[in-house]
Structure 1
Amino acid sequence: MIALNLQPALNLTDEVFEQLCRQNPELRLERTAQGELIAMAPAGSETGFRNADLLGQLWQWNRGKNLGFVFDSSAGFALPNGAIRSPDAAWIAKERWQQLTPEQRRRFAPLCPDFVLELKSPTDELAILQAKLQEYVDNGSQLGWLIDPESQRVYVYRPGQLVQVLERPTSLSGDPVLPGFVVDLTLIWK
């Protein structure tokens, strides 16, 4: 991951950032609340496999419950603090998504997902991901999971609560934010 401070030479407005993303589709880009441009390295194959498993489980649960919308890591969200972030997986309650205009849905949706998931890859720094999860909660997420396959830990973030650290859990419950969703983590620890 590389963080570039382009100010004052370039002010990364929403429009400029969106243009930059369109012109560089091969890059995974985010913008911090301070206006820094973040370029992230592609995840390794093993991380991609794990992320697909987690996303698939979330998608399957949502397909059955029809309570909201699931997003992969290519979706960006314009958070209330001005950052534009792309979690590895996200979920937004149906009512909140439907309040957005069609134009808002086509761009970086101006809201923070209700649920976010980040899967640490070997190139990620844990402290940076922990700060990112806290940023999501500070901007409205009701539940965040940071999964670290290396240390075999899961960090659970909820508003108004201390971060919960779980050692190699075999599953996680999304209740009450994701009613009835239980993710199986057995493939993550292999």
Structure 2
Amino acid sequence: MEYLIKTKSIGDMTEEQFFQFCQENDSIKFERNANGEILITAPTGSDTSSFNSNLNLEIGTWNREKKLGIVFDSNAGFTLPNNAVRSPDAAVITNEK
């Protein structure tokens, strides 16, 4: 579940301003959509958390053997080509990137 924070009164944040905003409010997990709207993401349930933990274990084990890149969990935020900032459950950035 996500909750939208209305930011019309403060305008659009640059990537650096959004990063600072997240650092100043580090007890809350934020994402930003392509429209620049800030979203609060609610914690997952125990089943989803367990699934994600096992998924990250598998990806990490695979990458430790193959050495193809860097593995991230759901705490990392990635700026996408449409300027959204999202935190996927698991991610790999290849060494080529």
Q: Which residue of 1 aligns with 2:7?
A: 6
What is the letter of the counterpart of residue 23 of structure 2? R
1:114-125 pair list within 5 angstroms: none
Q: How far, CA to CA, are the matches of 1:52 and 1:91 in structure 2?
A: 15
How much has 1:30 moved relative to structure 2?
0.5
- Name the SS for the 2:96 alignment partner: helix
Q: How far, CA to CA, are the matches of 2:83 and 2:6 in structure 1?
A: 15
Tell me if structure 2 keeps the 8 A contact 1:73–1:89.
yes
Identity %: 45
1:106-185 pair list within 5 angstroms: none
How much has 1:66 moved relative to structure 2?
0.3
When the two chains are superposed, the root-mean-square deviation of aligned CA atoms in Å is: 1.2
**TM-score, normalization: structure 1?**
0.48
User: Which structure is larger by alpha-carbon Rg, 1 or 2?
Assistant: 1
What is the letter of the counterpart of residue 79 of structure 1? L
Stretches of structure 1 lacking an aligned partner (at least 5 in a row): 97-190
Q: Which has the higher contact order (CA 8 A, sep 6+)?
A: 2
Q: Which residue of 2 aligns with 1:71?
A: 72
Tell me if structure 2 keeps the 8 A contact 1:5–1:35.
no
What is the letter of the counterpart of residue 51 of structure 1? N
Stretches of structure 2 lacking an aligned partner (at least 5 in a row): none
Q: Does 1:57 align with 2:58?
A: yes
Q: How far, CA to CA, are the matches of 1:9 and 1:71 in structure 2?
A: 31
Q: Which residue of 1 aligns with 2:21?
A: 20
What is the letter of the counterpart of residue 81 of structure 2? P
Post-superposition CA distance 1:124-168 (Å, at most 9, x none): xxxxxxxxxxxxxxxxxxxxxxxxxxxxxxxxxxxxxxxxxxxxx
Q: How many residues are matched?
A: 96
What is the letter of the counterpart of residue 20 of structure 2? Q
Q: How far, CA to CA, are the matches of 1:12 and 1:32 in structure 2?
A: 12
How much has 1:44 moved relative to structure 2?
1.8
